[in-house]
Chain A
Amino acid sequence: MTDTAPNLTLVVVIAVLVAAGVYLLLERSLSRIVLGIVLLGNAVNLLLLVAGGAAGSAPIVGTSDQPMSDPLAQAMVLTAIVITLGLTAFVLALSYRSWQLHRHDEVQDDVEDRRIARLAARDAPSVAGSDVDSDDGVDLDDEARETHDETDEGRPAPVHGEGPR
């Protein structure tokens, strides 16, 4: 069984990395957010390593007689490191694009959400032309009288447009 005593040094490092990472993540500037993401990624990588148990020898068969470190945790961390690189580059590209369009790289509040909030504040319908927006006092069954099918006889123009003919 692997030694399950946690490594205090790594635990402290993890705590500091997470705290700094979260602090940066809650910013609005994309470049600070990406810094936070990298710090958090490092913290989680270390967490995986700590959760894998005590450090042993390198997981290469035949190099040492000591017990081996958990190779699965390492494989997971290895992929995580490379993924973090992809993510970092992507968010940085986002931040470049944001700067290109708006001359800053800050994440603004969603315009559509704010529009809905404004509509909600004055109780206006959020979807124009919906079933509920016209309360003109005319019941639908009255309007059903205006429909006529396209038949051989009868009116040449069977489907009428809106409103009075």
Chain B
Amino acid sequence: MLVLLTLHLVAALVAPGLIGRLGRRGFLVLAAVPASAAVWALTWTSRVQHGQTPVERVQWVPSLGLELTFRLDTLSWFMTLVVAGVGTLVLLYCAAYFSAGAAGLGRFGGVFVGFAGAMLGLVTADDLVLLFVFWELTTVTSYLLIGHYSERKSSRRAAMQAIVVTTAGGLAMLVGLLLLGHEAGTWRVSELIAHPPAAGPVVVTAVALVLLGALTKSAMIPFHFWLPAAMAAPTPVSAYLHAAAMVKAGVYLVARFAPAFSPLPVWQAMVLAAGGGTLLLGGYRALRQHDLKLVLAFGTVSQLGLIILLVGLGTRAAALAGLAMLGAHAMFKAALFLVVGVVDAATGTRDLRRLSGVGRELPVTAAVGALAVASMIGLPPFAGFVAKEAGLEALAHGGTLRDTALLVVVAVGSVLTVAYGARFWWGAFATKPAVLAPAETVHPDGAATSTPLADADPDERPAAITHPSLWLVAPAGVLALLGLGVALLPTLGEDLLGPYAQTYPTGALSHLVLLPGVTPTGLLTLVVLVCGFGLFAARATVERWQAAAPHPVSADHVYRRGMRRLDDLAADVTALVQRGSLPNYLAIILVTFVVAVGIPLLTSTSLPTRVRAFDEPGQVAFAVIVAASAVLVARARRRLKAAILLGVGGYAIAGLFLLGGAPDLALTQVLVETVTLVVFVLVMRRLPPYFSVRPLVASRWLRLALGVAAGLVVAGVALVAPAARVAVPIASGFAHEAVTWGGGTNVVNVTLVDIRAWDTVGEISVLLVAATGIASLVFVHRRTGAIFREREAPEGRAVWGGDDDPTASLRRPSDTTTAQVRATTARDRLWLRAGRTLAPYRRSVIFEVVVRLVFRTMIVYSVYLLFSGHNAPGGGFAAGLVTGIALTVRYLAGGRYELGEAAPVQPGALLGAGLFLAAGTGIAGMLAGRPVLTSWVLTWHAPVLGEVHLVTSLFFDVGVYLVVVGLVLDILRTLGAELDRRAEVGVDPPFEKVTSGRSDD
């Protein structure tokens, strides 16, 4: 079975290409796929009949107990034949039906075969979860098929309606299946049916939910409305999905679960009410349709009601009749849809008011139609008759009041079936004199059924008839003749289907007979036929009466109103919870944090028994600075002041780290704080000096309260957390591991580059993303800008100029242009290469000299930190930051051209190379057969240096170094250099100077 399913999948995938190459003849190739499934099922016939059930089982997700289990028992065998057989014939039909140039055939073919595969999987799956998966696959593929004409709004809406209704049912079913599987303790469908869990509230709920899924899929009331709307699909789809396949999925589910659960009252109530009601409603509605497809659609709804009623009733006799009816219906209804397709293709209309004389012109089609209609309305000797007769027999012998009531319902439903069946054939094929005189044909009061669209139809002339090829009629002919053939061998059907009906809990098995003779049910059939034809004869009166009858509210309308209300509700909920205000969201998160952490803190923890005031007295001093600066930052009204206070606090935290036994942290914190301060200054020079005045001062107290609450909760966590450790810290062995395996004595650094190296890879990836994000926010359209080289600096433009020159009076006039500056300084010592690109009054000789002196020293120091980091405070992060600060200093002293001279590379290259190096080190270790990111120590004797140890994780650290340098360089190039450039060319003027004197704080 897996092979067949794979075949369907492959065929679905190649179908677009196949049809693209072969055109519509590709359908002939595709038809081989379901045909192979049908043939396979046929080869199993005698073995399945004798109780053999082939099972295939493949582990899917063993940890969840999910298996791909397939099983072919009688019901599955029968359904496979129906699904694959009708699928084959419909695909053959497609090859002749669509015009060669029809649009979207490739997609259509693929989805169609995919649907056939999903159906095959559904009827053979023996696992509850797998069953659901295939169930939903049929829903999705049928959605695509119904919406085939996706350029039509009504098609899209019909498809959407079908998927919404059936998916809603499917969701209910999923819950039901999970409950059932849980209660039964097995996920095998066969085991669940063989040993159903005892009826309790859970099982009753589960069964009701599963039935809900089945009823939506089979278009039972009140969910029937999607099926007629789905007639927007191409006619072959209607023939397959809405006669043989998808709607039968619900029937299959009912038949599958009926042996185990049909005695439950909830089952009886749901199945009988839905089945009986649908039988009558569908038949009644079919009587007044003018579109042949809609006559059949409502007829299908009606017939599905009957089949569900019979297979769900729970007695063996009814089950046998139901299965026979299922097969008969698949044959005659698929044939009838295909016949409608032929008529539609020949005449260009399906409106029975415009068709006349079709039977005379297309006698073969008419004959095929007649055979199928005879089966549908239950004329002997056709399959439909045999099945309906068995159904009436089963109900007549039930003896209870319920069965008698059902008998009446089925009889009335059969009368309606006869009436709309006859009307269908008459409408499609009869020669109707009335059509020739259109003014008399249209019932003047038929407005209720003829929509404004139909009224607006200008051509009421009888349709012209062309002659389609006989090939088009052949598939329908095969189905119609089959309907006659199987009826002539009723014992064959009984032998084949009987074994499944035997599994039903109650009643005796009846027989399928061709001619019942003079029995009460035989007479009832006669009465039904007479009444039915009488109803047909009085069709004009019936139509008038139906049109005049009060129309109950249409289900489609109710559905649409319901969806609209749902939409409104969703919008209301969205508007309520999604206010779009960042402070609002953050406040909700923080309140949740305070409550969710604070309550356990208060209720289930106790304060630590011992506390220490401090580790070192110096901590108190630093703590005071940190706390004071934090409070002042919160109160500051001036941006620069806040940034500088923040830096003060940050440096003090470095002091806390140092006294807390963390020299690496202290070093990194100092360096980061420096870079942070630079970034703040670079950005804030573009922003107004003061924070804007917030209009809602009242919320300030709320924010303050929330801040204090959060602070107290975090402090509580800090008090409780150290004592919450119950196990030996994972880091207790780090020192030993670092020396032994990592080849370094600085445990923190070895942790970063070796023990927890994966974390570091993740972290430098974040840095890369942040750097790229900064660059894209500034450059917007590009990753990066040009590198500013000193030789490209424009003449006469002074970097950072633009303001009034405060020292102009002190300067020699000839010094003011760059050219002259260059000329005069050519023989002078040049401290910074791009120093002369600055506006003269921005230059500081002392600064330039100092930078000249310290830059190389800083670079050497950073290299030292990088190499010594394995054994002393330092490492890639610190080294990268020192290099970054060195570059920052060059930029501050000499402007953007100096930065270009100092680092003539794109930051993206550094970031990429760094990440590549870090990750590559790990992969290199992996290639050497060790776990990823393992380091090893290389030792050799160098001539001068003596013994040299090289730990491979150094390369990892170099990667980290490059990423950090890249980040800082990106910041300088974007927030520094690019913003300078913009200010100079005037695209980005700075803030308007605040003139009104606003006091600080």
For B470, the chain A residues whose CB sits under 8 A away are none
Segment at the interface with A among B187-195, B560-568, B815-823: B560-568
A150 touches B98 (CB 8 A): yes
Determine which of B633, B694, B715 lies in contact with A28 in the assembled complex, contact meaning CB atoms within 8 Å.
Answer: B694
B763 touches A150 (CB 8 A): no
A139 touches B633 (CB 8 A): no
A81 touches B610 (CB 8 A): no
Chain B residue nearest to A49 in the complex (CB)? B660
Measured CB to CB, the closest approach of chain A to B904, in angstroms, equals: 22
Using an 8 Å CB-CB cutoff, how does the interface string of B680-700 with A read, 1 for contact, 0 for none? Answer: 100110110001101000010
A149 touches B711 (CB 8 A): no
Chain A residue nearest to B731 in the complex (CB)? A72
Given that A15-B711, A17-B626 are known contacts, is A81 also in contact with B669, CB under 8 Å in the complex?
yes
A12 touches B623 (CB 8 A): yes
Given that A53-B722, A109-B580, A143-B232 are known contacts, is A154 also in contact with B344, CB under 8 Å in the complex?
yes
B453 touches A53 (CB 8 A): no
B747 touches A140 (CB 8 A): no
For B616, the chain A residues whose CB sits under 8 A away are 55
For B676, the chain A residues whose CB sits under 8 A away are 38, 85, 88
B706 touches A131 (CB 8 A): no
Interface residues of A in 123-163 (CB under 8 A from B): 123, 125-127, 129-133, 135, 137-155, 158-163
For A13, the chain B residues whose CB sits under 8 A away are 623, 626-627, 656
Instruction: Check if B225 is an interface residue, CB within 8 A of chain A.
Output: yes
Chain B residue nearest to A130 in the complex (CB)? B567
For A1, the chain B residues whose CB sits under 8 A away are 728
Q: How distant is the Cα of A28 from the Cα of B619 in the complex, in angstroms?
A: 34
Chain A residue nearest to B703 in the complex (CB)? A26
A153 touches B661 (CB 8 A): no
Q: How distant is the Cα of A159 from the Cα of B670 in the complex, in angstroms?
A: 72
B975 touches A96 (CB 8 A): yes
For B580, the chain A residues whose CB sits under 8 A away are 109-114, 117
Instruction: Check if B278 is an interface residue, CB within 8 A of chain A.
Output: no
Segment at the interface with A among B313-321, B748-756, B841-849: B748-756
Instruction: Check if B650 is an interface residue, CB within 8 A of chain A.
Output: yes
4 residue pairs, one from A and one from B, having the closest CB atoms: A113-B580, A110-B580, A19-B711, A141-B228
Measured CB to CB, the closest approach of chain B to A165, in angstroms, equals: 7
Q: How distant is the Cα of A82 from the Cα of B964 in the complex, in angstroms?
A: 9
Measured CB to CB, the closest approach of chain B to A14, in angstroms, equals: 5
B626 touches A93 (CB 8 A): no
For A160, the chain B residues whose CB sits under 8 A away are 152
Instruction: Check if B412 is an interface residue, CB within 8 A of chain A.
Output: no
Measured CB to CB, the closest approach of chain A to B623, in angstroms, equals: 5
Chain A residue nearest to B630 in the complex (CB)? A20
Q: Classify the secondary structure of B's interface with A.
A: helix
B646 touches A35 (CB 8 A): yes
Given that A4-B608, A93-B975, A154-B344 are known contacts, is A147 also in contact with B232, CB under 8 Å in the complex?
yes
Chain B's interface size range is: 35 or more
Using an 8 Å CB-CB cutoff, how does the interface string of A17-33 with B read, 1 for contact, 0 for none? Answer: 11111111111110110
Chain A residue nearest to B614 in the complex (CB)? A9
Segment at the interface with A among B122-130, B399-407, B870-878: B870-878
For A126, the chain B residues whose CB sits under 8 A away are 567, 570-571
Q: How distant is the Cα of A38 from the Cα of B244 in the complex, in angstroms?
A: 66
Determine which of B151, B291, B346, B567 lies in contact with A132 in the assembled complex, contact meaning CB atoms within 8 Å.
Answer: B567
Using an 8 Å CB-CB cutoff, how does the interface string of B141-157 with A read, 1 for contact, 0 for none? Answer: 00000000101111101
For A6, the chain B residues whose CB sits under 8 A away are 608, 611-612, 718-719, 721-723
For A18, the chain B residues whose CB sits under 8 A away are 707, 710-711, 714-715
Measured CB to CB, the closest approach of chain A to B11, in angstroms, equals: 22
Chain A residue nearest to B583 in the complex (CB)? A26
For A144, the chain B residues whose CB sits under 8 A away are 154, 158, 228-232, 291, 293-294
Q: How distant is the Cα of A120 from the Cα of B578 in the complex, in angstroms?
A: 12
6 contacts between A and B (CB under 8 A): A75-B752, A89-B679, A106-B692, A117-B575, A126-B567, A141-B228
Measured CB to CB, the closest approach of chain A to B457, in angstroms, equals: 7
Q: How distant is the Cα of A127 from the Cα of B73 in the complex, in angstroms?
A: 48
Chain B residue nearest to A82 in the complex (CB)? B877
B229 touches A140 (CB 8 A): yes
Determine which of B620, B664, B711, B745 lies in contact with A22 in the assembled complex, contact meaning CB atoms within 8 Å.
Answer: B711
A4 touches B663 (CB 8 A): no
Chain A residue nearest to B752 in the complex (CB)? A75
B612 touches A54 (CB 8 A): yes
A51 touches B770 (CB 8 A): no
Given that A107-B582, A132-B560, A148-B348 are known contacts, is A141 also in contact with B294, CB under 8 Å in the complex?
yes
B348 touches A155 (CB 8 A): yes
For A15, the chain B residues whose CB sits under 8 A away are 711-712, 714-715, 718
Given that A19-B710, A135-B564 are known contacts, is A78 also in contact with B668, CB under 8 Å in the complex?
yes
A94 touches B691 (CB 8 A): no
